[in-house]
Amino acid sequence: MTTLLITGAARGIGHELVLRAVARGDTVFAMVRKQADEARFKPSTGLHVVLMDVSDTGSVERGFTEVDRLLAGRKLDAVINPAAIAPSGSIELTPVAEFEQTLNTNALGSLRIIKAGIPRLRGHGGRLILITSLWGQASGPMLGAYCASKHAIESLVDVARRETLGMNMHVIVIEPGVVKTDMLAGQTGEVEALLARMDASQRSLYGNFYQRYCQLVTGASKSGISAAQCAAGIEQAVFARKPRTRYRVGTDSKIVCWLAWLLPDRWMDGMFSMSVNHKPLK
């Protein structure tokens, strides 16, 4: 039996990971942001729903303290952090406050989890698993805040892994491609709402760009991997006897990350502009 702490457990990848762990008979600490999120889970032996908001340092500390109490001296085998937000919008038109919120939730949220996880996982081969994205290796238009946060997590993981060498623990990053979750499904409506609020000047500059991005997201919603497929990829890092430092989940992640490493900047610019550009939709 495995003991797992999973953030972002109310929806998407985190929720799928919790359901799979419960089905295996693991002890699972499902970390949720709101009391109302507890209703998303059926009572089950070994399942503990704990309040924790990764965007708040005090909340993270209280959440881990509650997990310590529930463990009653037992060890955590793995901490998995899929909790994230993913707003869309061009850099010019997106408020700085939205960047601050995204970086606080995704990047600093991961930092809070890393700091709390290290002392609870070292010494017994525990696994600290951070979820980034193919956007932690590449940078796509309309995803400035999200890409910046995921790149930051990649760096934090590398630093934490190097600082904990010899401490008998593993620090691992998972880089999924497009995953069909409600977060992805909601992007089209969010971008359409941004379009509706644009003034004439903004629409003349970015209207076509936003429309093309909506078209891209609609296509991705059909072709991406499922949350279950993503969870299965993450579980490789949980259960492998000798886990790798990095797992890329989904064909698109493998391809885009490889191209980002291989191609010159201008070639990558051209590749992205094939789908998202300023030309009117036909």
- Integer distance in angstroms from the first to the last C-alpha of the chain? 56
Which domains are seen in the chain, by residue range?
Answer: 3-180+226-262 (3.40.50.720)
pLDDT at 202: 97
Report, as an integer, the average pLDDT of 180-198.
88
pLDDT band at 281 (very low <50, low <70, confident <90, very high): confident
How far is residue 146 from each of residues 231, 237, 269, measured CA to CA in Å? 20, 23, 18
As a whole number of angstroms, the distance between CA 151 and CA 97 comes to: 19
- Report the percentage of the chain scoring pLDDT > 90: 91
Render pLDDT for 28-73 as a digit per residue (tens, 0 to 9): 999 999 999 999 999 999 999 999 999 999 999 999 999 999 999 9
pLDDT band at 282 (very low <50, low <70, confident <90, very high): confident
Q: What is the DSSP letter of 88?
A: -
pLDDT band at 1 (very low <50, low <70, confident <90, very high): low
How many residues appear in the chain?
Answer: 282
134 in Cβ contact with 224 (< 8 Å): no
Q: What is the DSSP letter of 106?
A: I
pLDDT at 74: 96
With both helix axes pointing from N to C terminus, report the angle between 144-163 and 109-121 in degrees, rounded to the nearest 10: 20
- Residues in a beta bridge with 28: 4, 47
Report, as an integer, the average pLDDT of 98-118.
98
User: pTM value?
Assistant: 0.95
As a whole number of angstroms, the distance between CA 248 and CA 232 comes to: 12
Burial of residue 106 (number of CB atoms within 10 Å: 0-12, 13-18, 19+): buried
For the chain, give the mean pLDDT: 95
**By mean pLDDT, which of 11-20, 181-190, 198-207 is the weakest?**
181-190
pLDDT band at 223 (very low <50, low <70, confident <90, very high): confident
CB atoms within 10 A of CB 207: 16
Buried b (16+ CB within 10 A) or exposed e, 157-186: beebbeebeeeebbbbbbbbbbbbbeebee
pLDDT at 186: 81
Best CA proximity match to 217, nearest among 107, 278, 141: 141
As a whole number of angstroms, the distance between CA 120 and CA 259 comes to: 37
As a whole number of angstroms, the distance between CA 211 and CA 277 comes to: 9
Sequence-ordered list of residues with C-beta below 8 angstroms from that of 263, at least 6 positions apart, any chain:
271
Sequence-ordered list of residues with C-beta below 8 angstroms from that of 75, at least 6 positions apart, any chain:
3, 120, 124, 126
Render pLDDT for 247-276 as a digit per residue (tens, 0 to 9): 999 999 999 999 999 999 999 999 999 999
Q: Which amino acid is at 245?
A: T
- Residue 81 pLDDT > 70: yes
Higher-pLDDT residue of 237 and 217 is 237
